[in-house]
Amino acid sequence: MKAIVVKAPGGLDRLEIRDLADPGQPGAGEIRVALHATSLNFHDLLVANGSIPTADGRVPMADGAGVVEAVGAGVTEFQPGDHVVSCFFPQWPAGPAFDAVGSFAGTPGDGIDGYAAQYAVRPASAFTRAPRGWSHAEAATITTAGLTAWRALVGDAQLKAGDVVLTLGTGGVSIMALQIAKAMGAQVIVTSSSDEKLDRARALGADHGINYRQRADWGKAVRELTGGHGVDHVIEPGGPGTLAQSIHAVRVGGHISLIGVLTGRQGEVPTSMLMARQARLQGLIVGSRRQQQEYVAALEQTGVRPVIDRSFALEQLAEAFRFQEGGNHFGKIVAEW
């Protein structure tokens, strides 16, 4: 079967198309999936470009969507023909995070082979059903970016109608967070480096937009927009370069979902302001399979569909990552085959 592999030590010019052995028929408890789409995440980029070291010949990509071709003995949840989407942590069925999800050792496309391939045979628990009527490309956005936004807002932050949410930037996680928050009756403030992207966010329902290049003190701008009160929840994909402003922007007793490393991996945190805000700072990595099932159900009920900026062929994966690095995208980038 055709697959993309990362040749050690990584690098976008070291992604290679290979003909790998077909994974064969599923054993007991397994399913065979004909994969048709993946979506690109920052984590996949770090594996592909060698920033996160991985095994030589690793098949990248955590997100995979396709059709069940065969089920092994004892599998009752799926049937051939079902449309499915992969789980970021196949070993996390439900409940709070635990030791095994404190690293990427069991994550497809990092510790184990991912889904930039024609077929996969995995335990049935490595997939969930995809939303009815969705394309494979749309479904592929669920695994990482979509589920992270869902878990942050609904799992950790306990979002409710009337809340005010701040999302930073217009990448995959933040745009899905905007859409979920609007579907659930929240008010949403979006930041971006681009006025044009802010207009697109408003077209998706954002109530306010702030250009963070023009307003370095965007946390203050958020407070002004909320009558000095601050927001209930912050979706924080930036990390050290944005956290101080996010703490400024959050209300007393509010919640910050610390999701990303877009501005780096360590830095200074104004701890006294965080304390004075009496805010909860919650680190998170994606979510459980149960949360993915709940997210799929919510997507079907609300009718929310992901925003796909651009689709590439699987063979163009390196080009797709370069497009992602350029930072001009809005929402998700996918590869299809």
Residues engaged in binding ligand NAP (CB under 6 A) = 41-43, 144-145, 148, 168-174, 191-194, 197, 212, 237-238, 241-242, 259-263, 284-286, 324, 327
The answer to whether 251 touches 225, Cβ cutoff 8 Å, is no
Minimal distance, residue 191 CB to ligand NAP, in Å: 6
Nearest distance from C-beta of residue 241 to ligand NAP, angstroms:
5
Encoded amino acid at 192, one letter = S
Q: Give the Cβ contact number of residue 125 at 10 Å.
A: 17
Give 317's contacts (C-beta < 8 A, 6+ positions apart): 4, 15, 48, 60, 61, 116, 335
- Minimum CB separation of residue 239 from ligand NAP in Å reads 7
Select 71 or 181, whichever has its Cβ closest to ligand NAP.
Answer: 181
The pairing of strands 208-211 and 164-168 is: unpaired
| Rounded-to-integer distance, Cα 54 and Cα 211, Å | 37
- Residue closer to ligand NAP by CB (options 226, 291) is 291
**Which CB, 49 or 324, lies closer to ligand NAP?**
324
Select 20 or 269, whichever has its Cβ closest to ligand NAP: 269
| Residue 221 Cα to chain centre, angstroms | 27
Evaluate whether 65 touches 144 at the Cβ level (below 8 Å): no
CB of 17 to ligand NAP, least distance (A): 24
| Position with the least CB separation from ligand NAP | 171
Nearer to ligand NAP, 31 or 334 (CB): 334
CA dist., res. 71 & res. 203, Å (int): 42
Of the two residues 263 and 293, which places its CB atom closer to ligand NAP in the complex? 263
Q: Considering the complex, state which of residue 26 and residue 60 has its C-beta at the smaller distance from ligand NAP.
A: 60
Supply the DSSP string of 147-181, one letter for each residue. HHHHIIIIIIS---TT-EEEEESSSHHHHHHHHHH
At its nearest, how many Å lie between ligand NAP and the CB of residue 277? 20
Three-state DSSP class for residue 192: strand
**Least gap, CB of 221 to ligand NAP (angstroms):** 13
How many Å apart are CA 228 and CA 8, to the nearest integer?
51
Q: How far is the CB of 219 from ligand NAP (least distance, A)?
A: 12
